Amino acid sequence: MAKALGKGLAALIRNYNPDQDNYIPIKSIMPNPNQPRKKFSTQHMEELIKSISEKGIIQPLAVRQINNNQYELISGERRLRAATHLNLKTVPVHIMTINDNIDSIELALIENIQRVDLNPVEEAEAYAILIDKYNLTQLEISKKVSKSRSEIANKIRLIKLPAIIQDSIKNNKLHYGHARALLSIEGSSKILNTYRSIIDKKLSVRQTEILVKSFKIQKKHKSISSKKYTKQSVWLKKYLNANVKIINAKNNKIIIEFSNDKELESIINKIINE
């Protein structure tokens, strides 16, 4: 089956023949529990409903038989919803012979990617199911959906982002490019603060990338500064018996930490040599 992937759903069905399609009751079709698409564009659905009401369902749904009177949907979720909305009693289907759930989710994922792009988070969740539940590797997935392994890996990382950011991606408030930039930031609080800046200031992907790059430059400068004065820091810590930080950035400064008034008095006395 893997050789046929990436060529459209018809290529996945051996000896496919439109004349062999059947009409079965809508009530006999169960949704695919592994359906990767969670959100459906209202505009696209309205257009599809109008098209089906005028011309009918041109391309049959793909299903697999569960028992004598029950079928599981493999592809055609939008067509099934549109038919239900129009109160159709039956729909044309092609019954596929599939022996396990992994084939089912592979076909559902591939069909959705090829027809109307899943949002990046839905795509990531589908890949995660293939990995966690069906033990596929990223390389195996990349071959099956005709995408690079690095792209699969980058998409899966989206699941690590805070829920509010994932929801923004799903609702098209945040672009995939924004999300990739956010993933390179360390610390959840900084990620959330940057996300709020993107939303509040309506930053473009390019502006976000520049902002995130500035964080890395600042971090690098701080690292260089701390190494530059290592000997001095060690000497001051030993002499003052306190934690000392020497910062060489925009504002050169020495930070001396103390726990209580007694420690402060001791530090001051040492500084003025008393």
Number of Cβ within a 10 Å radius of residue 61: 24
Strands lying side by side in the sheet with 22-25? 22-25, 90-96, 61-67, 70-75, 29-30
Question: For residues 157 and 191, is the Cβ–Cβ distance under 8 A?
Answer: no
Q: Catalytic residue among 77, 106, 122, 123, which?
A: 77
Residue type, 131: I
Nearest 5°: CA angle at 110, between 98 and 153? 120
Question: Catalytic residue at 123?
Answer: no
Q: Cα separation of 170 and 151, whole Å?
A: 18
Q: Cα separation of 50 and 215, whole Å?
A: 50
Q: Cα separation of 39 and 171, whole Å?
A: 9
Strands 253-256 and 90-96: unpaired
3-state helix, strand, coil in the chain (%, to 5): 60, 10, 30
Residue type, 134: Y
Q: Cα separation of 213 and 184, whole Å?
A: 9
Using alpha carbons, select from 79, 93, 78, 86 the residue that is nearest to residue 25. 93
Can you read off the two tokens belonging to residue 83?
A: 């038919």
Number of Cβ within a 10 Å radius of residue 161: 22
The residues that are catalytic are 77
